[in-house]
Every structure is written in C-alpha cells, then in structure tokens.
C-alpha cells in the first residue's frame, strides 16, 4: 500500500456544534455542511493542507456507512497531531482551542523529547496534540 492518506474523518455527535468548533473556533475554512439532501449524507469538509482534508460526519452515519454498530470511542484510541513552528504558536493555538470550547487536558509544556506540546479534546472528545518539534522542518 502506498501511504496516501487524503481524508481524516471524525465521528461527531452533533454536526452543527462540531462545525462551529472547527470553523468558528479554530478558524478552519469550510463550505459548511454538504450532502444534507442525501439520507445519512450530511458532512462538513475542511482543507488542512494540499491533498489532505478533515471531515466531520455524524457518528450514526459513519457507523451505518461502515456497517458497524454505533459506539463511543475512548479518548485514547488515537490522537491528531498539529505541529507548529514555535512554542509561541503552540501557546496561541492552545489558547484558541480553549476559547472555542476545547477541554485542555495538558497545558503546553517542555517535553522529554526536546520539544514543546500540549493536549486538548474537541467537544466530541477527539484528542489533539499541539506541538513544536525542533527536529522537524515544516513546509511553508
């Protein structure tokens, strides 16, 4: 398999609330909710970077689409990492997430691996790590 991840889909309990968090709170660009005319098709997409999108999909719709029973995932099932170019950017992003309604689990702090990072959960409990890694060069 060639690694071509192009879409990360988060199951959400309230699509409107999740849209407001990511669009209004975090400032991610989106066309809003699309697909409402299709049964179980409502979804919101956000461009993250070239060739990578974030999708918010109602939990029941995602379960139905995959042929699974609905269940609530644990917060440590996975995390999304958002890497930034400086400690100051990490602090600003953590503060922005908190203002948007995120639950800050671990305020940004120095890490054992020489970086600086913190964790927050979005309103649906998805875990985000916001980090600066001095060993990683970020694209413009």
Domain ranges in the chain are 7-66, 79-132
* 82-131 pLDDT tens trace: 999 999 999 999 999 999 999 999 999 999 999 999 999 999 999 999 99
Asked if 85 contacts 94 with a C-beta cutoff of 8 angstroms, the reply is no
Task: Give the CA count within 13 Å in the CB-facing half-sphere of 56.
Answer: 27
7-66 and 79-132 agree in CATH topology = yes
Distance in angstroms (rounded) separating the CA atoms of residues 39 and 41? 5
Which architecture does CATH list for 7-66? Answer: Roll (3.10)
Distance in angstroms (rounded) separating the CA atoms of residues 26 and 30? 11
Joined tokens for residue 8: 């990360």
β-pair type (127-132, 116-121) = antiparallel
79-132 sits in which CATH class? Answer: alpha beta
* 9-61 pLDDT tens trace: 999 999 999 999 999 999 999 999 999 898 888 999 999 999 999 999 999 99
Helix (H) or strand (E) holding 59: helix 59-66
């Amino acid at each position: 398999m060639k690694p071509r991840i192009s879409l990360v889909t988060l199951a959400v309990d309230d699509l409107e609330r999740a849209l407001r968090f990511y669009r209004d709170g975090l400032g991610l660009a989106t066309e809003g909710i699309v697909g409402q005319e299709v049964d179980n098709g409502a979804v919101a997409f956000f461009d993250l970077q070239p060739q990578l999108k974030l999708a918010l999909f109602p939990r029941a719709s995602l379960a139905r689409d995959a042929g699974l029973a609905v269940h609530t995932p644990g917060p440590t099932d996975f995390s999304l990492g958002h890497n930034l170019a400086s400690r100051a950017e990490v602090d600003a992003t953590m503060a922005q997430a908190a203002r948007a309604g995120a639950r800050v689990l671990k305020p940004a702090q120095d890490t054992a691996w020489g970086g600086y990072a913190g964790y927050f959960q979005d309103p649906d409990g998805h875990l985000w790590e916001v980090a600066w890694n001095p060993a990683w060069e970020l694209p413009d």
